[in-house]
């Protein structure tokens, strides 16, 4: 998902509850939430060196320093600059360096060149953050009511970047042949629950509603809420595990054209893909997996992650030999199935550390939120009635609505509080540096 | 749309009425239809030289000779080889050269190298056709009943290639700076009907059915027929005209990022796109259009064609200033609206000649079939319950179901008899060498 | 070698003997030579179909039709248009299509698009040739004396294209999986002379002269003639054979980095080069070679051809294990060694047919002219005192003087009469679709 | 120039005077030189942050940290590991990360990925250097005599990397839109000497010797020393200035195909080259130049630098309107002209700081050493008798001998003591991130 949340598009989007100006408690809560969210971003980067935070490992990723500064630029511009009289920019050049907005309009080479910015340093960017944080906290109590929803937007924007920050850092560290660990190895030593075979959980068919209902924050692309008509279906109680994925590999899954979408088959062959991202085969044939805590032996009970839509789809095709008609769920099937699951449940990001998916026991619909984003078979396209804000200058989520697929549910790197059933994450079918996995579905 | 109709996938697809072996009239009719379809293919190439029929103008296109031979290879393989005892191949090497099937399995360089095959010559390929045609006509009366549906499949396959043949030839001739005409200029001299402004035609909302109903021939991806739930909507009575497109261009449509999908904006800038394909601006600023009859002045009353999904979508965005909420129709909206329109009506391919779209009068839903394929906003994805045939070796339509959009209705180059409301044509959003246009839709 | 012979550069180049206007015999001889050269070009294409003559197999190559028309355009422009009052162009569009001159100035995409020109047809181009030939023969007796050197230039230009025509056709036919033959297989059945091991022939060291001496025709880059200072050296009596090359291959030559120039090693690995161009290994491990007469078993006695400079250089490195200090000859070493060899001797192009190198017996310096072009270790750079003609508009041979290496001596596809010791052919070090081979040298 | 100095190739190269083991003064001098050279490397990086030292700005460049570590790896491997019994590697992983040697054999993707190595940090690399330096200084007095030449090789290797370090850093900082300065702006305020027009200095024609004579250190490619035969020529007394280059630009030099080598013209158009590297045109049309001290106004009196061979050659072509026959000097012309110039004279690198070329007064042959590397028109090819060491494993300078041109003399970034007349620097004709300039030559 691109960072693409620009102020003009937002007010037309999904509702944000108005914060009454006379409610001191709400204001205080907002300040606390601001502090907490901003602090987590800093915590996530606490173990990064100046160099770690500067290098860009691929065009799709951004340096940690850029995430730190860009989110800060958002607060500085849309709160301090626009709503605090007399505020002067911390540094005049930062808006150019850390503003994703101008990129679309201007020089297309900017994005892949983000890793060239060795100065300002990580410490200077931290100073920038601290400066802006102080000023925001001072400003909140006196902000005009109309500006308060921007705080909500800024917090959600920051949370999105927290997840990207983790996945971008992981991608960078994976380029280093020494496989450095950011955090000490998490204890994976406990005996793993035996993973039982898939149980199929029937979902609600017929007419249901999906999409954001306007209560609480949502991005514009999540609405309007609308009815969908579903045929009888079931979802797997859990996502596919590393162990099951190994069977797919050992059965030659990556080498059989018939399982693959045509574009996926091209991708597999051109990129010589033979396993999920971050898997490395040792000289003895065993598999290790690179994570934020370095290289560890593959845990077969964990959900498979870092797979592309192409891989998820090929797996479903392969699995249909066992489960007739196995396929990816549609976005609507997933969303109606998740309607009664608490979005802040599950394995989500609470604090900095060696984030990784965990095994789930299954049996009932488990792991819907958190753990791994779940690829759906739904193209990321507008909902009926979706309309870019009239008169909006520039960008909106709708501009990304070609060629991408929807993922649902959130991952172990999604900050708790950021998930909801209507959330529409989206990536191109070949991308896989997010914690992306797959839950099977089938007609019944 | 790729040519991708392989025998194994077909019987699981959409029903084909069985031809009773004891019905002489039906057999005779089938032979007549075979003759007529095969003859049209030859007619379409009648004015081509050996060189015209050999060169491949881009990777997406195939040489005319390849189309001529590949369709013949289909008949030779799946009827003569499989169902006529003792048949020996016309030429042992042709299966390798003209068989799209093996490509997916084998050497991926084959497709872009189709234009390297200067031998066999066009005349030799015509001989190949004549030989196979004679043998097929002899064989039909004695074919086993199970083989007769293959005739139906072969005819539809051939018709698909007739359209590609025309659009591929057009693309090739457009590369020649001398702008050669294949057919003499059609009489475009008659006064054109004034094109009236768009009238909006309300379509059927609520629950409707789309997809192939199993009566008559259909490709596997058209089914299963299923219910869809539609919100109130209207379609424009006609597709966008060249004159309207000129207004879009003159209003700077190709230069404003806000109208474009993000991938579309990249495409416009990288490819320096400033008009539909085949438009050329003269020194006086006027526009000419290249066609199968050479270069002619732009006819503002004609439907715009040879536009990409990106352009169609940008146009809708631009047009929403005039028609609030203007957008592309979904596939389902288009199909339910077309339910009562005769699929063999409209401007479709009846005989060889300088094929081009024609102006339609509008006022009621006009030009739904024929004239130009109409981009929808629907990604080409499987219908609920769609399933590749179990045990099918190789290819099926489903393999193309990522990254492409659906077009509906057929064009002036679609052979009459080939269209139906459930037909799902599909191309990548940047492709535009087909006769592709756009009909606006909106919520009501 | 690019076709790059533009009139303005030529008169400053190397001398052409003036044809006295009152010498009827010389004029008659000139007409005869014109006829003979022009006829050979047509003969070389006699077995080509319209399609054969139209397709372009790679960017480096041109279609046969282009060669036929481009050489004719030269005569039409620089003789008929410039020196025959009242001449009107055969077809106004041809100058644009077949004029390599405007390309450099204008659209850089033109060259790779030469294969898109299906019309005019091969027959029309033949008519164009016939028309121009008639008019040239009529015109020669009355041409102004100043124009006569242009005839000489035109003949040499045509001869260059004769060689390119053959190598470009060969490259095209090699793309066809059916390996079609243009000419019937030549008789290779005779027992081959045993190839003896290399004999080293000492060349003249000290100060010698190289470069064109101004007598007879030469291209500008061949001069000025100048002194060079050579250390004692020897050349191999013959070029490397296919049999010797097989030993290099079997000894792992293509897989050992130490033998290769750094750029060459990149090329070998990126292009997956494992043998000379046109070699194909059969299922039994034996080698066939594709030629103008189709596929034939490798003749180990023949000179190796279709190798790149990179391969030639790697071979010399490998061979230095046997012949200490083995290396490529310099251009000067080759040229002074060839000083007393008749340039019209050897296996050169006399008539159309299945051109291929032939085994030479060796023992003395053999095969210097004809058979295969011999890579030298000399970069193609200007001779001391070389200077592009002052005031010359546009192009001259000097513009190609970066990154290319010199080849000497001519090949079996070089028209007899076109070779001379000072001739400087040049190609990039990876190119190998010419009949290019290698003769070793060493210090003594 | 690639870093390509491997031990096995060196002893066969150019002579190094043996250091007698019993000469304490020489040993002490060697230690002093070692200390001084190693200290300069550290000084050059003193102002770099961890991020500055880690990022790789393009494939041709390496991160500063890599230079620091790679040069240290050289000392650790070829002195400590090979000649100090019991030495254990500082860190086992460093050899893999910082060893250019294995790259050629192994994974070709390693070089462009050097910028991904965020760990070890700059400080850890400095520790590595300090550790190795201490051990080397301890070891030198007891080293076997055979090892002492390796010290000489290591010092020269280190000096090469000092220059690359500066030019790579400059390139990196130039990517930052904020144009950060590494050192404070040098005082360029003094009134500049008026630059007089070129004076032509005749060089020694006839037979001369060039190449390394075996006294003192030299790289293998500099020998053998050999005779060359030169025609009368003259060199310009000084290199071309920025002011003269501006005239070339203002006269349309970058837009006229006739001045350019064919490959150069392609490069100019594809890369949209319109000025030397690091020149930036302000909104007022004036030119600034980026340097190690940030952005400064163009100094017209300074030598032009950061030009490619293509640009140098085009300039000479353009200048021939004024100076008939102006061209680039050959390597031999340059070297014989420099025979009596002290190689340690001129503007060379003595200490860390904002290195930049300076204006020279001219009148006599000035600026031959230091200031800017001078492109020659000579391809980088082996000297007569050059031979890679028999039995040498792997790499040697000769492997780069295709496609590159020789530069002579050294630059303001070349450490004083590293230059000599026989030094052969080489780069591809499009490369220009070194301090490369041009001195004209002509025949007389």
C11: pLDDT strictly greater than 80: no
Q: What is the mean pLDDT of residues C224-246?
A: 97
Q: Yes or no: is domain A16-174 CATH 1.20.120?
A: yes
8 Å CB contact of C121 and B54: no
Confidence at residue A17, expressed as pLDDT on a 0 to 100 scale = 47
Q: What is the mean pLDDT of residues B314-338?
A: 97
8 Å CB contact of C261 and D399: yes
Helix axes D242-250, D309-319, angle to 10 degrees: 70
Q: Using pLDDT thresholds of 50, 70 and 90, give the confidence band for residue D167.
A: very high
Backbone angles phi, psi at A8, to 5 degrees: -60, -35
Is-contact B206 B229, C-beta < 8 A? yes
Between chain A and chain B, are at least 3 CB pairs below 8 A?
yes
Average pLDDT, chain A: 90
DSSP, residue by residue, D276-329: STTEEE-TTS-EEEEETTEEEE--TTSBP-S--HHHHHHHHHHHTTTSTT-BPP
Chain A: closest CA distance from residue B229 (Å): 6
Chain A: closest CA distance from residue D374 (Å): 30
* Digit-coded pLDDT (tens) for B162-204: 999 999 999 999 999 999 999 998 765 444 557 889 999 999 9
Confidence at residue C5, expressed as pLDDT on a 0 to 100 scale = 45
Nearest residue of C to residue D378, measured between CA atoms: C381
Chain C: closest CA distance from residue D401 (Å): 7
D393: pLDDT strictly greater than 60: no
Structural domain boundaries in chain D: 16-174, 189-443
Average pLDDT, chain C: 90
Q: What is the mean pLDDT of residues A272-282?
A: 97
Backbone Cα Rg of chain C: 22
- Asked if C116 has any chain B CB less than 8 Å from its own CB, the reply is yes
* Digit-coded pLDDT (tens) for A226-255: 999 999 999 999 999 999 999 999 999 999
A388: pLDDT strictly greater than 90: no
D117 closest CA partner among D179, D56, D45 = D56
C206: pLDDT strictly greater than 50: yes
- C7 vs C28, residue with greater confidence: C28
- C99 vs A119, residue with greater confidence: A119
8 Å CB contact of D118 and A172: yes
Tokens encoding B85: 């005892």
Which CATH class name applies to A189-443?
alpha beta
Is-contact C415 C40, C-beta < 8 A? yes
Ramachandran category for residue C278: left, alpha or beta (phi over 0 → left; psi -120 to 50 → alpha):
left
d(CA D408, CA D422): 8
| Residue of A263, A393, A443 with shortest CB distance to B402 | A263
Confidence at residue A400, expressed as pLDDT on a 0 to 100 scale = 86
Distance from the Cα of residue B257 to its chain's centroid? 30
B378: part of which helix (H) or strand (E)? strand B373-379
Distance from the Cα of residue D320 to its chain's centroid? 28
- Asked if A121 has any chain D CB less than 8 Å from its own CB, the reply is yes
d(CA B435, CA B303): 10
Tokens encoding C246: 């097989």
Instruction: List alpha helices for B175-271, DSSP H.
Output: 242-250, 262-270
| Residue of D51, D116, D177 with shortest CB distance to A118 | D51
Confidence at residue B13, expressed as pLDDT on a 0 to 100 scale = 36
Q: Using pLDDT thresholds of 50, 70 and 90, give the confidence band for residue D14.
A: very low
Q: Using pLDDT thresholds of 50, 70 and 90, give the confidence band for residue B105.
A: very low
Backbone angles phi, psi at B207, to 5 degrees: -90, 125
* Digit-coded pLDDT (tens) for A314-346: 999 999 999 999 999 999 999 999 999 999 999
* Digit-coded pLDDT (tens) for C349-385: 999 999 999 998 777 999 999 999 999 999 999 999 9
* Digit-coded pLDDT (tens) for B377-423: 999 999 999 976 554 334 557 788 999 999 999 999 999 999 999 99
Q: How many Cα atoms are found within 13 Å in the side-chain-facing hemisphere of D173?
A: 25
- Asked if B3 has any chain A CB less than 8 Å from its own CB, the reply is no
Between chain A and chain C, are at least 3 CB pairs below 8 A?
no
* Digit-coded pLDDT (tens) for D227-284: 999 999 999 999 999 999 999 999 999 999 999 999 999 999 999 999 999 999 999 9
Tokens encoding C10: 């030529």
Give the full edge-to-edge strand order of the sheet including B436-437: B425-427, B405-408, B373-379, B436-437
8 Å CB contact of D93 and A178: yes
| Residue of A227, A309, A405 with shortest CB distance to B229 | A227
- D191 vs D327, residue with greater confidence: D327
Is-contact A336 A208, C-beta < 8 A? yes
Tokens encoding C357: 């190198």
B289: pLDDT strictly greater than 50: yes
Nearest residue of A to residue D52, measured between CA atoms: A118
Q: Using pLDDT thresholds of 50, 70 and 90, give the confidence band for residue D396.
A: low
d(CA A192, CA A300): 9
- Asked if B331 has any chain C CB less than 8 Å from its own CB, the reply is no
Is-contact D222 D424, C-beta < 8 A? yes
Confidence at residue A319, expressed as pLDDT on a 0 to 100 scale = 97
Confidence at residue D39, expressed as pLDDT on a 0 to 100 scale = 98
- A364 vs C391, residue with greater confidence: A364
DSSP, residue by residue, D227-289: EEEE-SEEEESSPPBHHHHHHHHHTTGGG-GGGS-HHHHHHHHHTT--SSTTEEE-TTS-EEE
Q: How many Cα atoms are found within 13 Å in the side-chain-facing hemisphere of B345?
A: 11
A149: pLDDT strictly greater than 60: yes
Candidates A118, A169, A272: best to mutate against D (most CBs of D within 10 A) is: A118
Q: Quick check: do A16-174 and A189-443 share a fold?
A: no
- Cβ density class C116-133: b for 16+ within 10 Å, e for less: bbbbbbbebbbebbeebb
Nearest residue of D to residue A98, measured between CA atoms: D177
Cβ neighbours of B172 in C, within 8 Å: 116, 118
Helix axes A262-270, A309-319, angle to 10 degrees: 110
Residue A362's contacts (CB-CB under 8 Å, 6 or more residues apart) are A195, A196, A198, A199, A237, A238
> Judged by CB atoms within 8 Å, which residues 143-202 of B form the interface with A?
none
- Residue B161, CA distances (Å) to A346, B154, D415 in order: 52, 11, 69
- Asked if C394 has any chain D CB less than 8 Å from its own CB, the reply is yes
8 Å CB contact of D119 and A93: no
D16: pLDDT strictly greater than 90: no
> Judged by CB atoms within 8 Å, which residues 278-307 of D form the interface with A?
none
- Strand locations in A72-212, DSSP E? 200-202, 206-210
Instruction: List alpha helices for C59-206, DSSP H.
Output: 64-75, 82-83, 94-98, 100-105, 122-139, 148-174
Average pLDDT, chain B: 90
Is-contact C125 C45, C-beta < 8 A? no
> Judged by CB atoms within 8 Å, which residues 248-277 of A form the interface with B?
257-258, 260-266, 269
DSSP, residue by residue, C260-298: S-HHHHHHHHHTT--SSTTEEE-TTS-EEEEETTEEEE-
C208: part of which helix (H) or strand (E)? strand C206-210
User: Burial, B81: exposed, middle or buried (Cβ in 10 Å; 0-12, 13-18, 19+)?
Assistant: middle
C104: pLDDT strictly greater than 60: no
Nearest residue of C to residue B115, measured between CA atoms: C55
User: Burial, C169: exposed, middle or buried (Cβ in 10 Å; 0-12, 13-18, 19+)?
Assistant: buried
Instruction: List alpha helices for C175-308, DSSP H.
Output: 242-250, 262-270
ipTM of the predicted structure? 0.94
8 Å CB contact of D176 and A122: no
Sign of CA dihedral B186, B190, B192, B193: negative
Least reliable range by pLDDT among A394-408, B43-57, B162-176, C249-263: A394-408
| Residue of C379, C401, C403 with shortest CB distance to D381 | C379
- Asked if C119 has any chain B CB less than 8 Å from its own CB, the reply is yes
To the nearest 5 percent, what fractions of chain C are helix, strand and coil? Answer: 35, 10, 50
Residues in chain C: 444
* Digit-coded pLDDT (tens) for B116-170: 999 999 999 999 999 999 999 999 999 988 888 889 999 999 999 999 999 999 9
| Residue of A108, A261, A443 with shortest CB distance to B399 | A261
Tokens encoding A281: 């085969």
D225 closest CA partner among D404, D7, D15 = D15
Cβ neighbours of D115 in A, within 8 Å: 55, 115
DSSP, residue by residue, A173-184: HHTSTT---SSP
- C422 vs C189, residue with greater confidence: C422
Confidence at residue C393, expressed as pLDDT on a 0 to 100 scale = 35
8 Å CB contact of D231 and C226: yes
**D-contacting chains (≥3 CB pairs under 8 Å):** A, C
B370 closest CA partner among B414, B431, B337 = B414
Confidence at residue A102, expressed as pLDDT on a 0 to 100 scale = 45
Average pLDDT, chain D: 90
* Digit-coded pLDDT (tens) for A173-225: 999 999 999 999 876 544 455 788 999 999 999 999 999 999 999 998 999 99
Chain B: closest CA distance from residue A326 (Å): 9
Q: Using pLDDT thresholds of 50, 70 and 90, give the confidence band for residue B108.
A: very low
Tokens encoding D125: 């690399």
> Judged by CB atoms within 8 Å, which residues 34-63 of A form the interface with D?
49-55, 57
B227: part of which helix (H) or strand (E)? strand B226-230
**Percent of chain C clearing pLDDT 70 (strictly above):** 89
8 Å CB contact of D257 and C104: yes
B74 closest CA partner among B150, B167, B168, B160 = B150
Chain D: closest CA distance from residue A110 (Å): 10
* Digit-coded pLDDT (tens) for D49-85: 999 999 999 999 999 999 999 999 999 999 999 999 9
For residue B379, list its beta bridge partners. B405
D171: pLDDT strictly greater than 50: yes
Confidence at residue D1, expressed as pLDDT on a 0 to 100 scale = 63
- Residue B198, CA distances (Å) to B252, B363, D185 in order: 22, 8, 66
d(CA C338, CA D163): 46
Backbone angles phi, psi at B81, to 5 degrees: -65, -45
Cβ neighbours of A387 in B, within 8 Å: 320, 325, 327
Q: Using pLDDT thresholds of 50, 70 and 90, give the confidence band for residue C20.
A: low
D119 closest CA partner among B301, B281, A55, B413 = A55
Q: What is the mean pLDDT of residues A6-27?
A: 52
Is-contact C405 C427, C-beta < 8 A? yes
d(CA D139, CA D31): 10
Cβ neighbours of B93 in C, within 8 Å: 177-178
D305: pLDDT strictly greater than 50: yes
């Amino acid at each position: 998902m691109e960072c693409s949340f620009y102020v003009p598009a937002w007010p037309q989007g999904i509702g944000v509850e108005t914060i009454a100006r006379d409610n001191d408690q709400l204001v205080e809560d907002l300040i606390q939430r601001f502090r907490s969210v901003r602090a987590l971003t800093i915590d996530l980067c606490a173990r990064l060196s100046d160099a770690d935070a500067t290098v860009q490992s691929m065009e799709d990723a951004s340096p940690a320093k850029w995430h730190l500064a860009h989110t800060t630029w958002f607060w500085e511009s849309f709160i301090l600059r626009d709503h605090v009289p007399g505020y002067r920019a911390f540094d005049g050049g930062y808006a150019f360096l850390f503003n994703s907005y101008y990129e679309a309009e201007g020089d297309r080479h900017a994005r892949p060149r983000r890793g060239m910015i060795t100065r300002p340093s990580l410490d200077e960017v931290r100073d920038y953050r601290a400066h802006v944080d102080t000023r925001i906290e001072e400003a909140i109590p006196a902000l005009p009511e109309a500006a308060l929803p921007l705080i909500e937007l800024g917090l959600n924007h920051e949370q999105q970047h927290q997840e990207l920050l983790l996945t971008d850092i992981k991608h960078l560290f994976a380029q280093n042949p020494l496989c450095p660990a950011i955090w000490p190895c998490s204890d994976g030593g406990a005996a793993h629950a035996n993973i039982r075979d898939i149980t199929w959980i029937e979902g609600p068919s017929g007419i249901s509603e999906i999409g954001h209902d306007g209560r609480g924050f949502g991005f514009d692309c999540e609405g309007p809420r609308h009815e969908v008509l579903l045929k009888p279906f079931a979802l797997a109680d859990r996502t596919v595990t590393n162990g099951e994925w190994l069977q797919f590999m050992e059965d030659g899954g990556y080498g059989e054209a018939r399982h693959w979408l045509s574009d996926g088959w091209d991708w597999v062959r051109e990129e010589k893909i033979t396993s999920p991202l971050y898997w490395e085969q040792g000289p003895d044939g065993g598999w290790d997996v690179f994570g934020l805590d370095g290289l560890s032996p593959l845990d077969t009970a964990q959900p498979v992650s870092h797979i592309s839509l192409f891989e998820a789809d090929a797996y479903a095709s392969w699995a249909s030999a066992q489960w007739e008609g196995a396929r990816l769920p549609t976005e609507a099937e997933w969303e109606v199935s998740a309607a009664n699951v608490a979005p802040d449940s599950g394995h989500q990001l609470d604090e900095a550390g060696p984030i990784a998916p965990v095994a789930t026991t299954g049996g009932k619909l488990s792991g819907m939120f958190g753990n791994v984003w779940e690829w759906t078979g739904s193209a990321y396209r507008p909902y009926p009635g979706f309309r870019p804000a009239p008169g909006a200058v520039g960008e909106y989520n709708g501009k990304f609505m070609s060629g991408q697929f929807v993922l649902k549910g959130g991952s172990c790197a999604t900050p708790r509080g950021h998930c909801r059933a209507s959330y529409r994450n989206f990536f191109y079918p070949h991308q896989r540096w997010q914690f992306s996995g797959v839950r099977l579905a089938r007609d019944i």
